[in-house]
Amino acid sequence: MCTGFEDCGAFFVEASGDVSHVGKFLWSPADKPWKAMEEIRSGDCVLHYVTEKAGVKGFVGVSKAAEPAKQVDKAESERLFQSLGVEPSYYSQWLSKYDKFYFVPLKGFRRFDKPLGLEEVVAMGISVFEVVPQNYIRKTPYGKRILEAACRQSGPRSCGGVDAAPSVELEKFVALLMLAGKNVLFVGAPGVGKTLLARRAACFFTECPPVVEAGREDLAYEDLAIRYAVGPDGRVERRLGSLARAVAESWASLRRGGGPCHFIIDEINRANIDVVMGRFFTVLDMEHRSVEIPELEEAGVDPPRVPLSFRVFATMNVVDRGQLFRMSFALLRRFAYVYVLPPHKKIEPEKSPRETAKELGLYRPYAEAAYKALTLKSYLENDVATLIRLPIPQPEKIAEEADRLGILHLVDHLLESADKIGLEVGPSMIVDVLKAVAVYASAPPSLKPREEVFVDYVVSSLVLPYFAAAIPRIRQKALYTSKAFEEARELNEVASKIREWLGERSASYHVARGLLYELPAKV
C-alpha cells in the first residue's frame, strides 16, 4: 500500500481528459449524473484515471479528500478557480450551462511511477464497467486492490509471492475454466509443474494467497472443516480446518473489496478424498453454494456457506495412482481435468472441422442452465459467480457460438460413442461445455487462447474424462465376455476420431490415447 493511504475511507474513481487539475480538486455540476459527488467525505481516497485525450491512459495517481463535498454557485466556483490558478478554458463552458456545482478540495496527491492500465485491472478480476465512470466520478469497492497494484509497480499482481497473470495458452484456458465456475484438477507425471500451475491459477483473479493442504492417508474431514484440540492452557480449543479457513478468509477478503482465497489440495489421491470432503462434496458445484455447512456455522463463519467465487484446485500424479486411493466419478466430474504435459511435448492442435450440430435446438435447455449458473447472485456485490463481471450472452447465443466453433458437432459424435459403450452421460457435461463457451465469448482478449486451442482443451478437459467411467466396467467384462472387445473397439474409434478432428499433437488425442492404455492388454 502507498504510504499515507493505509486509512482510506471509501474509494472513488475520477475519469478526466484534463490532467491540469488531477490531485488538486474535484468539480462537477450539481446534477443527477454527478450525484456520487455528494457521498465524498473527508479522508476518502480518489483514484485518478486519465483518458487518451490527456495523452496518457490509465490510473496515474491517488489523493485524499481534504473536506467533504460541498455545493457552490457560479461566483464561488470562479473565485475558487482563480485562487487555484485554473485557466478559464477549463470551466467557462460549464458555468454557462449550470448554476450549482459540487466541489471537493484534495490533498496528498501521490503520482504512480507508471500508469496502471485497464488490461492490468481486468487481469486482477475487475470489470472495467465497474471501475471507470461514465460521468466523471463513481464510487468503487475495488479501490484498495487497484491502489495496491499501482503502488507495487511489479506487474499486475502478486499473490503470496506468486506473480500470477495468465500468459501461456494453457493458463488462459485454466483462467476461463475458473470464470466458468469449475474447480480444476491438474494431472500429469511427476515434475511437470502441476503444483506450481495450481498455485499460479489460484492467484489469477485475486491477491489473497490460497490455503494449501497436502493429501495424505490420515487426512480426515475434521482437518478440512473443524476440529478440537487441547491448547497450551489445557483448555479445549476449536480450530478451523484448512478448507474452512480458506472459506472464512475468502469472506473477509471479499468484504474488504478483495478477491477470494482459493483452496489447493496437493496429491489429492493420497487421501480417501470422497470421505474426507464430507459436507463440502456437494458445494463444490457452484449451483449448490447456497447450502449452509453446519461446521462453518459452528465456527462462526458468516455466512456459513462457500462463496460463488471460491474455487478448489487439486493435483494428481498419474505414475503411481494405481497404488493410491481412487476418486469416485461423482467427485471427478466436479473438476475440470487438465492434463499437464512435460515441456518437451508441445500441444499444437489442428483446426477442427466447423461442422454444425445435427439439431441445435436440443442444446437450448443446456444453454439456459449454463446461463443461469453463470449469472447466480450472492449477497455480497463483489462475490461474482464468474469471478469478474462478464457480459454473458443469452442462451441462444451461447448455443450458436458453441456451434460456430464446431464444438457441438464433436459433442454429437462423442455422445453417440458413449451410447454404444453403454456410458450414460448426464447433463452436467454439456452444461460445463456451454459455460466454457459462454465465458470464452465474453472474456477480454487477454484471456483468450486461439480458437483451435480452446476447442481442443474443452474436449480434453470437459468431455473425454467422462469416458474414463467406462474403463472399470470394460476391464470387468473382459474377464467374462467378448462384449468388452466391442466396447474397446469403440474407444479406439473415439481416439481415431479425435486424431482426425484435432490432430496427433492435440491435448485431446493425448487424453484419448491415455484411456486406451487403461484397458487390459488382451482387449
Query: H-helix or E-strand containing 407?
Result: helix 407-420
Nearest alpha-carbon partner for 480 in 522, 515, 514, 518:
522
CB 317 within 8 A of CB 190: yes
Residues facing residue 211 across a β-bridge: 263
**Distance between CA atoms of residues 455 and 188, nearest Å:** 20
Rounded CA-CA distance 306/256 in Å is 17
Among candidate residues 359, 329, 354, the one with its CA nearest the CA of residue 465:
329
Distance separating alpha carbons of residues 245 and 20, to the nearest angstrom: 47
With the CA atoms of 36, 38, 42 and 47 taken in that order, what torsion angle do they form, in degrees rounded to the nearest 10? 20
Rounded to whole angstroms, the Cα distance separating 304 from 292 reads 5
- 100: which strand partners? 73
Cα–Cα distance between 171 and 469 in angstroms, integer?
27
C-alpha cell belonging to residue 305: 456457506
Q: Which runs of consecutive H residues, i.e. helices, occur in 6-157?
A: 74-84, 88-95, 118-123, 143-152
DSSP code at position 133: -
Instruction: Give me the pLDDT at residue 130, please.
Output: 75
Whole-model pTM: value is 0.74
The pLDDT assigned to 395 comes to 97
Q: Which one-letter amino acid corresponds to residue 358?
A: K
Question: 428 near 457, Cβ under 8 Å?
Answer: no
pLDDT of the residue at 414: 94
Q: Are strands 25-29 and 100-116 parallel, antiparallel or unpaired?
A: antiparallel
Number of H helices, E strands in the chain: 20, 14
As a whole number of angstroms, the distance between CA 276 and CA 120 comes to 38
According to DSSP, residue 182 is labeled -
Specify the 3-state DSSP secondary structure of 43: coil
- The C-alpha atoms of residue 24 and residue 84 are separated, in whole angstroms, by 9
Give, as one character, the DSSP assignment of residue 32. Answer: G
Give residue 135's pLDDT. Answer: 81
Sign of CA dihedral 40, 46, 52, 58: negative
1.10.10.10, 3.40.50.12160, 2.30.130.30, 3.40.50.720: which CATH number matches 11-152?
2.30.130.30
Whole-angstrom distance, CA of residue 353 vs CA of residue 14: 48
**Nearest CA-CA partner of 374 in 333, 452, 429, 432:** 432
Among 433, 439, 352, which Cα is nearest to 387's? 439
Cα–Cα distance between 181 and 389 in angstroms, integer?
13
User: 169-339: CATH homologous superfamily?
Assistant: P-loop containing nucleotide triphosphate hydrolases (3.40.50.300)
Residue 244 and residue 295 in contact, taking contact as beta carbons nearer than 8 Å: yes
- Residue written as grid cell 480449543: 237
| Pairing status of strand 100-116 against strand 58-65 | antiparallel
Angle ∠(262,268,270) on CA atoms, nearest 5? 150
What is the amino acid identity at position 200? R
Q: So where are the chain's domains? A: 11-152, 169-339, 360-517
Helices marked H in 206-305 — which ranges? 221-224, 242-255, 273-276, 280-283, 294-298
Cell numbers at 378, concatenated: 450472492
The whole-number mean pLDDT for each consecutive block of 10 residues of the chain, a chain of 523 residues, reads: 80 86 91 93 94 72 94 92 82 90 93 83 75 86 86 56 74 96 94 93 90 94 88 80 95 87 94 93 93 92 95 88 70 93 89 84 96 93 87 96 95 93 90 98 90 96 91 75 75 92 94 80 52
